[in-house]
Chains A and B, each alone.
Chain A
Amino acid sequence: MKISGIGVICSQGLGVAAFEQALKSGWQKPGETEAHWLGGVKTPAYLVKFDALPDKTLLKKIRRADALSKMSVLAASDALVNSGMENIASKRLGIIVATAFGPHVTTFNFLDDILDHGDAAVSPTIFSNSVHNAAASYIAMALNIKGPTLTITQFRFSFQSALQLAQAWLDQGRCDYVLAGAVDQYGDVLGYVSDHKLTTAKDGKIKPFTFNPTCQVPGEGAAFFLLSNKSEGNVYCSVSAVHTDDDPREGKSADINIIDADGMLPDESAYLASLSNDIPTAAYSPLFGSMMIGSAFNAAAGALMLKQQTRYATPVQDNPRGIRMLTESGGGSLGSIRCTGYNCYAERTVIYLTKA
């Protein structure tokens, strides 16, 4: 299947152009947020700045939605706009939203309601926004999409699973296009949990090539892809294979390997087994932060590289293991990119992107 449009929102801004600029510019220090668990002391985080968005038309349309839904709608809408295809929403278009944590901030707001006001005096609006498929529903409503609309929530390769399902839907004719993407939001409680279980990089710098020990900087955002089996719109590349269990193509060459390492695992040494000296490796998590759905942003980076036929250097190049790293940006002939992720059980997932 082809990627015919991409929409991204993260701390670097909204849109492929902002994301591409971030890839070109390299690492920049993240913002900070007050941490309740640290008594209000600030901690680094890559957060979306809604106030900085130049066009708030769509935000006004979904003003009752929470931040997770807003990020989802903005990125999904951006993917459709980016495709350049007219009236795409009125075609046979499905939606698959992948997330690890869903609307946890709204869930905690609802718990506030229960704790503060009691069982009988809680807000129905907060409750309905805390339901996990609210973001997908806001996308459908805001963009008037009436195809299959699905939300999946898991820690194991949720974005890759969404891609696999999108391919099945397209092949089986359940829709002609699928808007598949991933979203996760930062919140104070999640920040506390991450800080408690992992090591936060106080300098705000994720070092994906240290592998062990690791450090994380929380991020948030959404990345959506317009997918179809046709060569239409603003084609970036093909998604030639997605594996979430085994990889029958293991050992198959690629021009660049992108790894999802981002400090979300205390030990990311499993990645070492997937690296070779023949293939330069990049990791872009230091641009958007640590997220269980970070692979969607890495896939966006890979798709951009294939479309632009441009390599983007790894933004943080600390390399104690001497890995063959993609250290310099520049043009070149790119035919295929392999995006690799591991989870805490050392299970591997791979997305193969190829030049369209």
Chain B
Amino acid sequence: MNNSTMLITGLGVISAAGNDLSETLRSFEQGRRNAGPVTLFPTILKSPVFEVRQLPAEYYLEGWRTLSLALVAVDQALKDARLADLSGFRVGVCMGTTVASQLNALQFYKAYRENGAAPMTSVDRFLKGNLAEYIARRINARGPQLSVVNACSSGTDAVGIALSWLKSGLCDIAIAGGSDELNHVPYCGFNSLGIANQGLCAPFDRDRKGLNLGEGAGAMVLETREAARKRGTSSGLFLAGYGSSSDAYHLTAPSPEGVGLRAALHAAMAEAGLEPGSIGFVNAHGTGTHDNDLVEGRVLADIFGPDLTMLSTKGFTGHTLGAAGGIEAVFTAAGLREGWIPASAGFENKDEAIPMSPVREKTAITKGFALSTSLAFGGTNAAIVIGREADA
């Protein structure tokens, strides 16, 4: 079985940059950054965020914003894959998240603390709202299910796990990605860490001052070439490799040498059977925090050279945590499919400590492979390689 047998046949995405891929690409072309103050919950904190302003009404689920966002992306991906009927296929669902894994219901907890009792509405939502389980039931997928909670690398890991499932024959088709809503609890948490930017984020910029949180979902339909052939479809994109590795260094800071990221990149490239020169561009994690961008920029420059074409799309979406890897996988695939990537929003001044810079303008992509990277709390690192078939 060669690596190109795991096709990417469907893409779906929703974020502050747009409610679908077409809208997102328009935002990219226009350099539109839809950030603003928090409107989803009351807070005294001022760090701007990238909210999805108009969640499609038909997807609104009270108290389940992460699931709503996920369903938008999954439905788009299924439609893009022309996959209306899943019967006859073993379909796996592997989704990354952070918020949907936690019972961080403030009002429930406040009532419980005060009264020793509280309505079970939030608890019931939590118990029925596990991301992968919920999606699998909703679309009637009969196959493996995993909700990946690897913090900010969850979405990338979810896509990589789907690749493992397909290769091992656990399913014929996999829906993979990530989803997270903007939530009060992590918003307070990231502000407490002192890494939330009070202005707009500027990934890899010399004067970067931290991240902006965002929300959204990204989903891909992956399938074996055989499954695609059976249902009479094809695709010019494929998932070629996945690597994951731990820094074993610190709970919140990346290893200064980027030990884990290096290993993850090498593993993903090795699985894809590629040398660094084959990579057309890297969609970097690029949060806009000092440490992340420094470590990531140095590692990427070291492996791919200082002239690597790279960007961070978080200037358009904010940091969407568990969704980021899924959203950025879709953006990476779209970059290959469309043959261009946008300017890396927020970047203006080169940081001399980082021996490379992201692209400043819309850039044509001619090579057939691209990487998407994620670095996470806890020192987990993940990378995926996406390919475009030569004749596509």
In the complex, whether B300 has a CB less than 8 A from a CB of chain A is: no
A154 with B44, Cβ < 8 A, contacts A111-B104, A128-B252, A148-B244 known: no
Total interface residues on B, using CB and 8 Å? 68
User: Chain B: which residue is nearest A151 at the CB level?
Assistant: B149
In the complex, whether B101 has a CB less than 8 A from a CB of chain A is: yes
B146 A154 Cβ-Cβ under 8 A: yes
A115 B106 Cβ-Cβ under 8 A: yes
A192 with B380, Cβ < 8 A, contacts A149-B246, A197-B120 known: no
In the complex, whether B185 has a CB less than 8 A from a CB of chain A is: yes
A127 with B188, Cβ < 8 A, contacts A152-B149, A156-B130 known: yes
A102 with B127, Cβ < 8 A, contacts A111-B106, A111-B185 known: no
Tell me which residues across on chain A come within 8 A of B175, comparing CB atoms.
none
In the complex, whether B236 has a CB less than 8 A from a CB of chain A is: no
CA distance A140 to B157 in the complex (A): 17
In the complex, whether B89 has a CB less than 8 A from a CB of chain A is: no
B150 A154 Cβ-Cβ under 8 A: no
User: Chain B: which residue is nearest A95 at the CB level?
Assistant: B246
A127 B246 Cβ-Cβ under 8 A: no
In the complex, whether A122 has a CB less than 8 A from a CB of chain B is: yes
B376 A133 Cβ-Cβ under 8 A: yes
Tell me which residues across on chain B come within 8 A of A128, comparing CB atoms.
189, 193, 251-252, 377
Interface of chain A residues 92 through 151 with chain B (CB within 8 A): 95, 101-102, 104, 107-108, 110-112, 114-115, 118-120, 122-124, 127-134, 136-138, 140-141, 143-151
B147 A153 Cβ-Cβ under 8 A: yes
CA distance A101 to B41 in the complex (A): 25
Tell me which residues across on chain B come within 8 A of A171, comparing CB atoms.
168
B379 A141 Cβ-Cβ under 8 A: yes
Among A3-11, A51-59, A159-167, A323-331, the stretch in contact with B: A159-167
In the complex, whether B117 has a CB less than 8 A from a CB of chain A is: yes
A119 B246 Cβ-Cβ under 8 A: no
In the complex, whether B375 has a CB less than 8 A from a CB of chain A is: no
B110 A115 Cβ-Cβ under 8 A: yes
User: Chain B: which residue is nearest A37 at the CB level?
Assistant: B116
A137 with B380, Cβ < 8 A, contacts A115-B113, A124-B189, A148-B244 known: yes
CA distance A1 to B142 in the complex (A): 25
Which of A36, A107, A110, A152 has the most chain B CB atoms inside 10 A of its CB? A152
In the complex, whether B55 has a CB less than 8 A from a CB of chain A is: no
In the complex, whether A169 has a CB less than 8 A from a CB of chain B is: yes
Which of A115, A130, A133, A152 has the most chain B CB atoms inside 10 A of its CB? A133
Tell me which residues across on chain B come within 8 A of A151, comparing CB atoms.
148-150
CA distance A115 to B106 in the complex (A): 8
- The 8 Å CB contact of A122, one of B188, B250, B260, is B188
In the complex, whether A272 has a CB less than 8 A from a CB of chain B is: no
Q: How far is the CB of B271 from chain A (nearest CB, A)?
A: 8
- The 8 Å CB contact of A245, one of B120, B133, B143, is B143
In the complex, whether A320 has a CB less than 8 A from a CB of chain B is: no
Tell me which residues across on chain A come within 8 A of B379, comparing CB atoms.
137, 140-141, 149
Our count of residue pairs bridging A and B at CB distance below 8 angstroms stands at: 202
Tell me which residues across on chain A come within 8 A of B184, comparing CB atoms.
114, 119
CA distance A192 to B119 in the complex (A): 11
In the complex, whether A17 has a CB less than 8 A from a CB of chain B is: no
Tell me which residues across on chain A come within 8 A of B244, comparing CB atoms.
148-150, 174
A168 B164 Cβ-Cβ under 8 A: yes
A119 with B164, Cβ < 8 A, contacts A132-B98, A155-B130 known: no
Which of B130, B250, B251 has the most chain A CB atoms inside 10 A of its CB? B251
CA distance A114 to B41 in the complex (A): 13
Tell me which residues across on chain A come within 8 A of B161, comparing CB atoms.
150, 165
In the complex, whether B61 has a CB less than 8 A from a CB of chain A is: no
Interface of chain B residues 136 through 158 with chain A (CB within 8 A): 142-151, 157
- The 8 Å CB contact of A196, one of B120, B146, B187, is B120
B248 A141 Cβ-Cβ under 8 A: yes
CA distance A102 to B148 in the complex (A): 12
Tell me which residues across on chain A come within 8 A of B151, comparing CB atoms.
131-133
CA distance A110 to B250 in the complex (A): 20
In the complex, whether B79 has a CB less than 8 A from a CB of chain A is: no
CA distance A129 to B102 in the complex (A): 13
A137 B378 Cβ-Cβ under 8 A: yes
In the complex, whether B304 has a CB less than 8 A from a CB of chain A is: no
Tell me which residues across on chain B come within 8 A of A127, comparing CB atoms.
186, 188-190, 192-193
B185 A148 Cβ-Cβ under 8 A: no
A107 with B164, Cβ < 8 A, contacts A119-B44, A146-B260 known: no
B148 A145 Cβ-Cβ under 8 A: no
A124 B102 Cβ-Cβ under 8 A: no
A124 B192 Cβ-Cβ under 8 A: yes
In the complex, whether A193 has a CB less than 8 A from a CB of chain B is: yes
B194 A137 Cβ-Cβ under 8 A: no
- The 8 Å CB contact of B102, one of A107, A118, A138, is A107
B116 A131 Cβ-Cβ under 8 A: no
In the complex, whether A33 has a CB less than 8 A from a CB of chain B is: no
A104 with B103, Cβ < 8 A, contacts A146-B259, A164-B144 known: yes
CA distance A283 to B377 in the complex (A): 38
In the complex, whether B83 has a CB less than 8 A from a CB of chain A is: no
Tell me which residues across on chain A come within 8 A of B189, comparing CB atoms.
110, 122, 124, 127-128, 130
In the complex, whether B263 has a CB less than 8 A from a CB of chain A is: yes
In the complex, whether A39 has a CB less than 8 A from a CB of chain B is: yes
B106 A114 Cβ-Cβ under 8 A: yes
A156 B133 Cβ-Cβ under 8 A: yes
CA distance A164 to B130 in the complex (A): 19
Q: How far is the CB of B386 from chain A (nearest CB, A)?
A: 18
CA distance A55 to B4 in the complex (A): 51
In the complex, whether A244 has a CB less than 8 A from a CB of chain B is: yes
In the complex, whether A189 has a CB less than 8 A from a CB of chain B is: yes
B164 A165 Cβ-Cβ under 8 A: yes
A172 with B145, Cβ < 8 A, contacts A37-B116, A129-B251, A149-B378 known: no
B101 A153 Cβ-Cβ under 8 A: yes
What are 13 inter-chain pairs, A to B, with CB distance below 8 A? A107-B102, A127-B188, A127-B190, A131-B151, A132-B149, A133-B151, A133-B378, A137-B380, A150-B161, A156-B133, A168-B165, A189-B109, A245-B90
Given contacts A147-B246, A192-B116, list 6 more A-B pairs with CB under 8 A: A38-B116, A114-B184, A127-B190, A140-B378, A146-B246, A161-B146
- Leading 4 A-B pairs by shortest Cβ distance: A137-B378, A127-B189, A132-B149, A148-B244
